[in-house]
Amino acid sequence: MSRKYFGTDGIRGRVGQYPINPDFCLRLGWAVGRVFAKRGPAHVIIGKDTRISGYMLESVLESGLVSAGADVSLIGPMPTPAIAYLTRTLRADAGIVISASHNPYYDNGIKFFDHLGNKLADDVELEIESQLGEDMVCVESDQLGRASRINDAAGRYIEFCKATVPRGFSLRGMRIVLDCAHGATYHVAPRVFEELGAQVEVIGANPNGVNINDGCGSTHPEMLREKVIERGADVGIAFDGDGDRVFMVDSAGRLLDGDELIYIIASHRQAQGTLGGGVVGTVMSNLGLQQALESQGIEFCRAKVGDRYVTEMLLNKGWLLGGETSGHVLCLDLASTGDAIVAALQALLPVVESSRSVAELVSGVIKLPQIMVNVKVPDPAAVAQSPALLSAISAKEAELAGRGRILVRASGTEPLLRVMVEGEDGSEVQGIADELAAVAQNQG
CATH number at residue 279: 3.40.120.10
pLDDT band at 414 (very low <50, low <70, confident <90, very high): confident
Give the H or E element holding residue 382: helix 380-384
Say if residues 181 and 238 touch (Cβ distance below 8 Å): yes
State the Cα–Cα distance between residues 269 and 65, nearest whole angstrom. Answer: 43
Asked if residue 94 and residue 40 are part of one domain, the reply reads yes
pLDDT given at position 404: 87
* pLDDT value, residue 415: 86
User: 267 and 247 in one domain?
Assistant: no
36 shares a domain with 117: yes
- The alpha carbon dihedral of 173, 179, 182, 185 has a sign of negative
| Residue 248 pLDDT | 98
DSSP one-letter code for 277: S
- C-alpha–C-alpha distance, residues 53 and 333, integer Å: 34
What gap in Å lies between CA 53 and CA 40, rounded to an integer? 31
CB count in 10 Å sphere of residue 172: 9
Average pLDDT (125-152) is 96
Whole-angstrom distance, CA of residue 365 vs CA of residue 300:
14
Q: Does 2 map to a domain?
A: no
Question: What is the rounded CA–CA span in Å between residue 272 and residue 266?
Answer: 10
End-of-domain residue from the set 303, 336, 367: 367
Question: In this structure, what DSSP letter does residue 139 have?
Answer: P
Are 215 and 331 in the same domain? no
Q: Are 143 and 191 contained in the same domain?
A: no
- pLDDT(401) > 90: no
- Which three-class secondary structure state does DSSP give residue 102? coil
168 within a domain of the structure (yes/no):
no
DSSP state at residue 403: S
Residues 34 and 143 reside in one and the same domain: yes
Active site residue 101: yes
Distance CA 318, CA 54 (A): 36
Band the pLDDT of 424: cuts 50, 70, 90: confident
> Which are the contacts of 324, defined by CB distance < 8 A and separation ≥ 6?
258, 281, 282, 284, 285, 305, 306, 307, 310
Can you tell me whether residue 290 is helix, strand or coil?
A: helix
| Domain presence at residue 349 | yes
Taking a C-beta distance cutoff of 8 angstroms, is the pair 103, 213 a contact?
yes
Question: What average pLDDT does the segment 149-158 reach?
Answer: 97
Q: pLDDT digits over 351-366, tens only?
A: 999 999 999 999 999 9
- Mean pLDDT, the chain, integer: 96
- In whole angstroms, give the CA distance from residue 353 to residue 247: 21
**Is 2's pLDDT higher than 90?**
no
Instruction: Identify the helix (H) or strand (E) that includes residue 11.
Output: strand 11-14
Q: Is pLDDT above 60 for 139?
A: yes
Length of the chain: 444
Would you say residue 230 has pLDDT above 80? yes
| Paired residues of 239 in beta bridges | 246
Digit-coded pLDDT (tens) for 110-137: 999 999 999 999 999 999 999 999 999 9
Identity of the amino acid at 313: M
Q: Is residue 387 part of a domain?
A: yes
Q: Widest CA span of the chain, in angstroms?
A: 70
Q: Are residues 385 and 295 in the same domain?
A: no
Instruction: Please say which residue of 202, 229, 254 terminates a domain.
Output: 254
Q: Give the helix, strand, coil percentages of the chain, each rounded to 5.
A: 40, 20, 40
Same-domain check for residues 263 and 183: no
Residue 395 maps to a domain: yes
- 372/430 Cα distance (integer angstroms): 9
pLDDT band for position 5 (cuts 50, 70, 90): very high
Distance of alpha carbon 247 from the chain centroid: 11
Percent of the chain with pLDDT over 70: 100
Indicate the number of domains in the chain.
Answer: 4
Beta bridge partners of 321: 279, 331
Tell me, yes or no, whether 245 and 287 share the same domain.
no
CB 152, CB 82: distance < 8 Å: no
pLDDT of residue 9: 85
Give yes or no: residues 119 and 206 share one domain: no
pLDDT exceeds cutoff 80 at 328: yes
Confidence of residue 301 (pLDDT cuts 50, 70, 90): very high
- Quick one: average pLDDT of 275-282? 97
Instruction: Classify residue 158: in a domain, yes or no.
Output: no
Residues 261 and 347 in one domain: yes
Nearest-CA neighbor of 101 among 30, 19, 7, 22? Answer: 7
In a domain, 1, yes or no: no
**Considering only CA atoms, which of 404, 271, 265 is closest in space to residue 344?**
265
Answer yes or no: do 380 and 317 share one domain.
no
Write out the residue range of the structural domain in which residue 197 sits: 173-254
Write a three-state SS string for 332-377. Answer: CCCCCCCCHHHHHHHHHHHHHHHCCCHHHHCCCCCCCCEEEEEEEC
Q: Are 227 and 176 in contact (CB under 8 A)?
A: no
Catalytic residue among 73, 101, 218, 285: 101
Query: Whole-angstrom Cα distance, residue 322 to residue 338?
Result: 9
Q: How many CA atoms lie within 13 A of 95 on its CB side?
A: 30
Strand partners, 76: 47
pLDDT exceeds 90 at position 39: no
Residue 1: is its pLDDT beyond 70?
no
Q: In angstroms, rounded to a whole number, what is the distance separating the alpha carbons of residues 92 and 367?
A: 43
Q: What residues are paired with 374 via a beta bridge?
A: 418
With respect to residue 117, please indicate whether it lies within any of the assigned structural domains.
Answer: yes
Q: Is 59 helix (H, G, I), strand (E, B) or coil?
A: helix
d(CA 357, CA 346): 14
